[in-house]
Structure 1
Amino acid sequence: MSVPDFLDMYKTLIAKPSISAIDESLDLSNKAVIDVLANWCRDLEFEVEITELTHAPGKYNLLARREPLNSSKNHGGLMLAGHTDTVPFDDARWNSNPFELTEKDNKLFGLGSIDMKGFFAFVITAISQLDRKYQNAPLMILATADEETTMAGAQQVAQHTSLKPKYCVIGEPTDMVPVFTHKGHMSSAIRVTGRSGHSSDPDRGLNAIEVMQQVISRLLHLKEELKNKYSIEHFAVPHPTLNLGHIHGGDNANRICGCCELHIDIRPLPGLSITELEQMLLNAIQPINEQFPGCVDVIALHDPIPAFSGRTDSGLVRLAEKLSKQKAIAVNYCTEAPFLQQLGCETIVMGPGSINQAHQPDEHLDMDKITPSQNVILDLIKKCCFNNEKAS
């Protein structure tokens, strides 16, 4: 029952490219990472289930389960969850090979070092230090696909009928600060279809850029409405945000623009449903479609991600606060938490590394944080799944 040491696991995980991207030319399978994790889990006497995603062939989830000895109990316990994919990278902005773990200035550099393949090295190292004969509750490791794009992996897991952990900890990089709630994410394309024509006779066309100017005006009004109508003090940015992120349209100065498209990003608070938000967006552009019938379309760029809502007084939050010696917080980014929470488990987000490094060139883990983070993860597993006094 042996697994590689911590740094060897880290090196192996970083060396397996598993980029997920909307651009098919960049998108890769995560199977190599899944296979490595599966072998390590089997070495620790876990039963391993590998599932190809229904709507994303070539992408895989791994669910490893280990029950207490001499027990048929298969509900309850702790699930440690993370995603196996990474974002794409800009090679010109990295000072080292993103797929080679590089130690420099007391830091471990590599793509996925904190977001978030490295989390699995922490988890497996911790479990390998515990004596299974003292395990008294189910222990699970979940590794998902495509978190960085569609979250299809977590959404598929949410439909798993026999998976019923009591607790779930998602190891996104929070510097081991427990996160009990976060905002959602909705990205939409607003497409204006006009009529092109020669610029010398404007009345013979419908300029999509001019119509888009009206759309933007109404979106900015919606932005202020969201800011004034909804607020939760736990968040550093206490209101929903709406960002105008990308726009393109037209092809020549002397042609009436026939099509213009704007991409927007909205981050809803807990309590503001995706359905309600989508209706608010449609209501905002309705007067323009009444003036120019069928001119404006709203197209989802990906399936929206709902906000994650937890409680500060839950047993898992209180335990995580005690072990980490840090108060649970709310964050503005989103994770797989709202989907995994659907399994009926108390859920938090808490893992090693800083979110400030996520999606950045030269992504790295500060080595000074390894031992403190490892100790919290080890203690968490012991408290949830072992006879704590005898486990190690």
Structure 2
Amino acid sequence: MSGSALDPVEFLKGALEIPSPSGEERLLAEYLAEGMERLGIRSFVDEADNARGQVGKGPIQVVLLGHIDTVPGRIPVRLEGGKLFGRGAVDAKGPFVAMIFAAASLPEETLRRLTVHLVGATEEEAPSSKGARFVASRLQPDYVVIGEPSGWEGITLGYKGRLLVKVKREKDHFHSAHHEPNAAEELVSYFVAIKAWAEAMNVGQRPFDQVQYTLRDFKVHPAELKQVAEMFLDLRLPPRLPPEEAIRHLTAYAPPTLELEFFGREVPYLGPKDTPLTRALRQGIRKAGGRPVFKLKTGTSDMNVLAPHWRVPMVAYGPGDSTLDHTPHEHIQVEEFLKGIAVLREALKVLGEGGGTRVG
């Protein structure tokens, strides 16, 4: 099979020119599905607005899933000095388009051994993770690659979990001269307690094993008869602290007067270093002239959503510098993008040949 009918850089540029903030991915999904068809990949847009593709007829099932939604914000799309600028160039249209061209260029021999499922997933940048949740029960892979920027020489083994917390305090209004903490002060005291708890948990731990906390919002509503204060916390959780355990701690520190609401629960994930999938990617990176390196990410991805459903070898991989995620300067190096395609193509060939050479 040949992927030469379309130029990968021009195709990615076209994808970047279609805005696709979370919840508004349909036009981009149709563009990607049309491109896959032109490359010889059977494709469609599913009920969750995912761009879907399938190629090969082999018994080994491989899922390549990258999200196609972006955070808000327009970046003028341009090719300049070997760099392709645009919202989603790195996070994560670039990695998913690399997956498309890798799958489209596989030789027939590999396609007799593999069936490759491509999923351009929706709403990853939103707490819903709509696209990944839609396919979780509909596909049964043997191997999974999540399309996220790891750098073309990097293989991401794990992501922290996540827990979002809304805290509210409502109490009868009183004069400021009264010797009693007001609603806002009670929330501040709770935040200080949670901060102390997290910092105690983090003593002696490497960054990936630490609890990260961010105060995302704090509001005090104008008081009439009632004082109302609200705050919004974002916690990033290491593998030793799943969301339900974190909720137990957060609840124990909260006085009964506070209202706590938990959502956005994502389970931490850390996969093994030596699997047929990691061996295949390492061979692909070496063949492209690189030195493989394993990475751990402190954010979250669709890996967190899918790992509890698909208990198979799973990594995140994709060209691009993740420090450019969500920034006004987001871009991908064209050379790196093309190397990412070559690495994925070789890794898929290795999986079709039996999973690569075992390493110690």
> Structure 1-normalised TM-score?
0.80
How big is each residue's C-alpha offset from its partner over 1:29-62, in whole Å with a ceiling of 9 and x where there is no partner? 2111111121222334433353223xxxxxx123
1:199, distance to aligned residue in structure 2 (A): 3.2
Asked if the contact 1:179/1:348 (under 8 Å) is kept, the reply is: yes
1:83, distance to aligned residue in structure 2 (A): 0.5
How big is each residue's C-alpha offset from its partner over 1:138-190, in whole Å with a ceiling of 9 and x where there is no partner? 11111111000121221222122xx2221111121110200111211112111
Q: 1:261 aligns with which of 230, 251, 256?
A: 230
- Flag the structure with higher strand content: 2
Cα distance change on mapping 1:206 and 1:214 into 2, 3 Å? closer
**Residue identity opposite 2:185 in structure 1:** E
1:307, distance to aligned residue in structure 2 (A): 0.8
CA distance in 2, matches of 1:146, 1:323: 30
Asked if the contact 2:160/2:208 (under 8 Å) is kept, the reply is: no
Among the aligned pairs, what percent are the same residue? 22
**Residue identity opposite 1:192 in structure 2:** R
Residue 332 (str. 1) matches residue 298 (str. 2): yes
Query: Superposition pairs for residues 9-24 of structure 1, below 5 Å?
Result: 9-20=11-22
Q: 1:299 aligns with which of 240, 257, 261?
A: 261
CA distance in 2, matches of 1:127, 1:220: 46
The equivalent residue for 2:8 is 6
Q: 2:163 aligns with which of 186, 205, 214?
A: 186
Asked if the contact 2:276/2:351 (under 8 Å) is kept, the reply is: no
Residue 249 (str. 1) matches residue 233 (str. 2): no
Cα distance change on mapping 1:63 and 1:344 into 2, 3 Å? farther
Residue 368 (str. 1) matches residue 335 (str. 2): yes
CA distance in 2, matches of 1:349, 1:269: 17
Q: 2:66 aligns with which of 66, 79, 82?
A: 82
**Residue identity opposite 1:280 in structure 2:** H
Query: Superposition pairs for residues 40-55 of structure 1, below 5 Å?
Result: 40-53=35-48
**Residue identity opposite 2:171 in structure 1:** G
The equivalent residue for 1:154 is 132
Asked if the contact 2:155/2:315 (under 8 Å) is kept, the reply is: yes
Cα distance change on mapping 1:45 and 1:322 into 2, 3 Å? closer
**Residue identity opposite 2:67 in structure 1:** H
Q: 1:318 aligns with which of 261, 265, 279?
A: 279
Q: Provide the secondary structure at the position in 2 that maps to 1:303.
A: strand
The equivalent residue for 2:101 is 125
After alignment, is 356-365 or 378-387 more displaced? 378-387
Query: Which structure 1 segments of 5+ residues have no match?
Result: 21-27, 54-59, 92-97, 290-294
Residue 271 (str. 1) matches residue 240 (str. 2): yes
1:373, distance to aligned residue in structure 2 (A): 2.2
1:112, distance to aligned residue in structure 2 (A): 0.6
Asked if the contact 2:221/2:227 (under 8 Å) is kept, the reply is: yes
CA distance in 1, matches of 2:306, 2:93: 18
Query: Superposition pairs for residues 48-67 of structure 1, below 5 Å?
Result: 48-53=43-48, 60-67=49-56
Query: Superposition pairs for residues 211-250 of structure 1, below 5 Å?
Result: 211-228=186-203, 231=205, 233=206, 236-250=207-221
1:318, distance to aligned residue in structure 2 (A): 2.6
Q: Provide the secondary structure at the position in 2 that maps to 1:360.
A: coil
Query: Superposition pairs for residues 163-178 of structure 1, below 5 Å?
Result: 163-176=139-152, 177-178=154-155
The equivalent residue for 1:95 is none
Q: Provide the secondary structure at the position in 2 that maps to 1:52.
A: coil
The equivalent residue for 1:30 is 25
Asked if the contact 1:182/1:307 (under 8 Å) is kept, the reply is: yes
Q: Provide the secondary structure at the position in 1 that maps to 2:50.
A: strand
> Structure 2-normalised TM-score?
0.87
Asked if the contact 2:16/2:93 (under 8 Å) is kept, the reply is: yes
**Residue identity opposite 1:304 in structure 2:** R
Count of residues paired in the alignment? 344
Query: Superposition pairs for residues 95-106 of structure 1, below 5 Å?
Result: 98=75, 100-106=76-82
Cα distance change on mapping 1:210 and 1:258 into 2, 3 Å? same
Asked if the contact 2:98/2:318 (under 8 Å) is kept, the reply is: no
Q: Could you say what the CA RMSD is over the residues aligned between the two structures, in angstroms? A: 2.5
1:381, distance to aligned residue in structure 2 (A): 2.2
1:64, distance to aligned residue in structure 2 (A): 1.8
**Residue identity opposite 1:167 in structure 2:** Y
CA distance in 2, matches of 1:199, 1:157: 55
CA distance in 1, matches of 2:183, 2:32: 51
CA distance in 1, matches of 2:50, 2:315: 20
Q: Provide the secondary structure at the position in 2 that maps to 1:369.
A: helix
The equivalent residue for 1:94 is none
1:377, distance to aligned residue in structure 2 (A): 1.8
CA distance in 2, matches of 1:138, 1:213: 54
How big is each residue's C-alpha offset from its partner over 1:252-282, in whole Å with a ceiling of 9 and x where there is no partner? 7xx7971111211111111322111111111
